[in-house]
Amino acid sequence: MSIEILMPALSPTMEEGTLAKWHVKEGDTVSSGDILAEIETDKATMEFEAVDEGVIGKIVIAEGSEGVKVNAVIAVLLEDGESASDIGSVSAAPAAAAEPKAEAAAPAAAATPAPAAPAAKDGNRIFATPLARRIAADKGLDLSAIAGSGPHGRIVKADVETATATAAPKAAAAPATSAPSAAAGAAMAAGPSTETVIKMYDGRPFEEVKLDGMRKTIAARLTEAKQSVPHFYLRRDIQLDALMKFRATLNKQLEGRGVKLSVNDFIIKACALALQQVPEANAVWAGDRTLKFTKSDVAVAVAIEGGLFTPVLRDSEMKSLSALSSEMKDLATRARDRKLAPHEYQGGSFAISNLGMFGIDNFDAIINPPHSAILAVGAGVKKPIVGADGELTVGIVMSTTLSVDHRVIDGALGANLLNAIKDNLENPMTMLA
């Protein structure tokens, strides 16, 4: 019996992806472990391997197809003795064509968890896409009253938007006691529409640039983060003179091993140790509770073409500076090639964004949920400082800003964390103890 090859879920949150490239064609014989295709998610391009052996009897989803739903049939594998004529009808309904393309492109789909799947009054589950459930919750709509046009009657974005106009009067007539609940679920400000913005520049030459999945996700997640996470900011200048001297000494000693430590390597280590020194800050917000961690999993922002990655260095407090340096170089290289696996850029409680290497003196970074804090690092520049002897001198000073989620970390706790980072960097030898 022929085997249907389904679109894989390459991360826990993946609902759809792009079938970027086929490595096989119809008639090819494949074995378990062979590379079948390359799948693009919003963050990475990953290779998809065969699980079974057989002959590729039919390719259902063409190369380059976007918005292919998880578990959609993308190809059919023939077993021994079968031919292409044995393949019956293959439904690709879960693919992008099954739902409006607008839904496949909607950035909010990857931004936050959708409300729990609702149930109808008769107790039966209501099938709806996460985006449709989210919009319905924002608009105060009853999904049980909406007919689904998606596969197997599933409610999709277009169904909810169509129902919005007719359901609005009903929502307006709700008792006054429901006002707080409605306000809590109100839709976030989205700014002017595409049409409005285009009209503003009528008559001016411009080029419309199509957004890829990564840019849509970045826009959605950071807009949501800025609107829903209560940020506050703590700033400290850190003297780097001792660190720069210590770094130069270490790099000379490590030259024979081909290791060259960067200032960023020291910053990663300093933050990892600070999370151990202030363990209450090593936590994330989880809706109705916080999750406190024993290990320091530090994410580091890496700029790539068209966006950024935040690969996570796990157990950073346990690793040597040279090990952190090597791992960071490897992660950054594969991030730029979009070859990171989901587990390599998901998780962590703390992040670092270093724009000092681009000449930026200081800036405020936006927290990437569920992280509870992110350290914005500026360039080390020579400034006049007052030395330990009270005399005015010149030192290398780096400006840092800690963006903090107030739901997890209060002011004093955040100050302790930033002070610990400062102490570690200004006394670099202690990081080797």
Token readout for 258 is 């081909």
Q: Which residues have a catalytic role annotated?
A: 406
A 10 A CB-CB count for 223 gives 18
**Spatial distance between the Cα atoms of 217 and 66, rounded to a whole number of angstroms:** 15
At a CB cut-off of 8 Å and minimum separation 6, what does 348 contact?
297, 298, 299, 310, 312, 314, 371
Residue position matching structure tokens 């770094």: 247
Token readout for 293 is 């961690």
Closest CA relative to residue 6, chosen from 73, 69, 94, 56: 73
Closest CA relative to residue 75, chosen from 13, 9, 33, 23: 23
Closest CA relative to residue 67, chosen from 102, 36, 91: 102
**Spatial distance between the Cα atoms of 335 and 345, rounded to a whole number of angstroms:** 9
Residue position matching structure tokens 């393949």: 87
| 58 burial via Cβ count (<10 Å: 0-12, 13-18, 19+) | middle
- Give the burial string for 326-345 (b: 16+ CB within 10 Å, else e): ebbeebbebbeebebebebb
Q: Name residue 309's beta-bridge partners.
A: 302
Cis before residue 192, ω within 30 degrees of 0?
no
Structure letter (DSSP) for residue 371: -
Closest CA relative to residue 72, chosen from 50, 99, 95: 95
Q: Does residue 139 sit in helix, strand or coil?
A: helix
